[in-house]
Amino acid sequence: MVLGIFSYGYFLNALIISSRIRFFDRRYGHVDVLVFHGYLAVVAMLFAVGHRLLKSAYYREMSTQIGFGVVGFYLFLAVVALSVLFMDNRLLRRLKPFVALRRFGVGVLRLDYSLLKLFHNATSVAALLVTVHVLMASSTREDPLRIALMGGWAGVAGLMYLHHKAVRPFLAWRKGWRVTAVIPLTEAIVELRMRRPGKPVGRRPGQFGYFRILSRDCGSEEHPFTISSAPENDELRITVKNLGDYSATLKHVCVGTKVMMDGPYGIFTPPVQPRPLLFIAGGIGITPFMSMVASWRHHTLERPCTLIWSVRTAEELVRRELFDTTAKERAMFSFVPVVTRSVQPGFPYRRIDKRLLESHSPPALRKQMLVYLCGPESMQAAAAKYLKELGVPSGNIHREAFLR
Ligand SMILES: Cc1cc2nc3c(=O)[nH]c(=O)nc-3n(C[C@H](O)[C@H](O)[C@H](O)COP(=O)(O)OP(=O)(O)OC[C@H]3O[C@@H](n4cnc5c(N)ncnc54)[C@H](O)[C@@H]3O)c2cc1C
């Protein structure tokens, strides 16, 4: 019973935490909150497995109350297993059998992320079944305080879930945006611009939103994209690389299409204190820095800042004029493009390695310098390792992950 109570609590808390609560986002960052939500769900599942095994070992009879619990348990187990195996990019990603299974799931069973995300909603049904199971249990019913506590907890989780799934989308729909331009920047990268009447949306550079582009091609899927325009600009821009089915459709979006945006979220924004900055971007990981640098053009830049941007070919340096112009106009800002695939004049660097980082992080500044990293996981890990070796404190290194 104790294991069951722990499982119930962790499960409901996982549901509460996933409902995009601003307080948690501002404190810990949206992505870390979602990761924590995942850990809570896994712990809840472990407690549930213990509870189920012990209960079935000692009490073999079946009743409606137990039936609700058993169905809820298996539904929850299915969601947790599929999420850990196919949606998470952290827990098991280095294990070879897991990588093979994932390839099979995606390639043969066509388990794409949006399908899994849809199935993820089955947790709400599991939560309902488990709540009925808990409220029907004789140990709960014997004390009104227990009924109030267990029922109230589920009520809070249910209301937060409803707010997240129904109220918030409704508000985003009412305050919808309209696409004003669709600009292909390369074969694979497209920029979408959008506006809406009324007050501009308050946001910080580097934040992202969940976008639903209401066109026939895009369906009603919701995807996270960084807002690449400056907060001082009333227009919202997203700059998207074609990385799969959804992102590939964006270049076909028509001007005038309605867009729902939930956000902004995230804490990938340098603080206002004038500490030196080092930005390191890989590929499309440049988008948060586009909005930061575009924002500085409205203010004075009072601290040294270097942006290192690594891409495969020079063609991928989209909107580089923003960085070139800022570097020309602001003595404190320098821009270092790194092109990895070809040797070309104007691009002396071919890798973000220790030598490059050493030459762009003066020893006197390393202890106070804040580093912001956004790009492929392997690039982030290597850069963070070199920087720590050079004496940058790990607490000063901030990372943004684009993949879950
Ligand atoms: C905080 C954040 C900011 C981002 N900013 C940008 C940006 O500025 N520009 C850009 O090009 N990309 C950005 N991305 C990545 C972008 O969200 C994914 O590339 C896109 O959702 C992929 O969808 P797909 O169907 O095209 O590809 P798929 O092949 O279906 O997915 C590829 C991977 O993208 C992730 N993903 C897919 N669908 C979703 C979803 N609905 N919600 C969350 N993650 C999903 C999963 O990790 C999946 O494994 C950002 C991601 C995050 C988390």
- Give the Å distance between the CA of 45 and the centre of ligand 1: 27
CA of 224 to the centre of ligand 1 (A): 6
Atom of ligand 1 nearest to the CA of 31: 1
Number of independent structural domains in the chain: 3
- Say what the pLDDT of residue 198 is: 79
CA atoms within 13 A on the CB side of 373: 23
- How many angstroms is it from 403 CA to the middle of ligand 1? 6
208 and 328 in a single domain? The answer is no
Residue 272 domain flag = no
Contacts of 380 (CB under 8 A, 6+ apart): 280, 282, 373, 374, 399, 401
Residues 37 and 58 in one domain: yes
Residue 9, domain member (yes or no): yes
pLDDT at 149: 95
CATH number, position 230: 2.40.30.10
Distance 390 CA to ligand 1 centre (A): 32
Measured from CB, residues less than 6 Å from any atom of ligand 1 are 31, 89, 112-114, 117, 208, 221-226, 238-241, 243-247, 284, 287, 402-404
pLDDT score recorded for residue 91: 64
How close is the Cα of 326 to the center of ligand 1, in Å?
Answer: 29
Those residues of the chain that have pLDDT short of 50 are none
Tell me the pairing of strands 277-282 and 370-374: parallel
Residue 84 belongs to a domain:
yes
Q: Whose CA is nearest to atom 39 of ligand 1?
A: 223
Pick the atom of ligand 1 nearest to 89's CA. Answer: 47
| Residue ranges making up the domain that contains 253 | 175-265
| Calpha distance 316→66 (Å, rounded) | 58
Mutational pocket test of ligand 1: of 189, 223, 238, the residue with most ligand atoms within 8 Å of the beta carbon:
223
The residue out of 265, 295, 323 marking a domain boundary is: 265
Can you tell me the distance from the alpha carbon of 83 to that of 381, in angstroms, rounded to the nearest whole number?
Answer: 24
Examine the domain organization and report whether 221 and 316 are in the same domain: no
My answer on whether 57 and 155 are in the same domain is yes
What's the 262 CA to ligand 1 centre distance in angstroms? 15
pTM for the predicted model, two decimal places: 0.90
Q: Which of 133, 166, 199 is where one domain is finished?
A: 166
| Residue 71 pLDDT | 96
336 C-alpha to center of ligand 1: Å? Answer: 26
Residue with CA nearest ligand 1 atom 40: 223
Distance of CA 159 to the CA centre of its chain: 23
Confidence (pLDDT) at 19: 92
- Please list, in sequence order, all residues whose beta carbon lies within 8 angstroms of the beta carbon of residue 232, skipping any fewer than 6 positions away: 295, 298
- The residue to mutate among 35, 225, 284, having the most atoms of ligand 1 within 8 angstroms of its beta carbon, is 225
Residue recorded with tokens 């924002």: 295
**CATH code for the domain in which residue 338 is found:** 3.40.50.80
User: Quick check: is 31 in a domain?
Assistant: yes
On whether both 149 and 12 belong to a single domain, the answer is: yes
Q: How high is the pLDDT of residue 258?
A: 95
Q: Are residues 49 and 141 in the same domain?
A: yes
Q: Residues 196-253: pLDDT tens digits? A: 987 777 899 999 999 999 998 888 889 999 999 999 988 999 999 998 889 999 999 9
Are 211 and 315 in the same domain? no
Pair 94, 196 in one domain: no
Domain assignment present for 365:
yes
- Atom 27 (ligand 1) nearest CA: 244
Query: Within a 10 A sphere around the Cβ of 109, how many other Cβ atoms?
Result: 10
CA of 345 relative to ligand 1 center, distance in Å: 33
Whether residue 270 lies inside any domain: the answer is no
In a domain, 271, yes or no: no
* Residues 229 and 108 reside in one and the same domain: no
Same domain, 10 and 154: yes
Domain identity same for 251 and 225: yes
Which domain-ending residue is among 101, 135, 166?
166
Q: 205 to each of 227, 233, 285, how far by Cα in Å? A: 8, 11, 14
In this structure, what token pair is assigned to residue 17? 């935490």
Residue 76 and residue 50 share a domain? yes
In a domain, 67, yes or no: yes
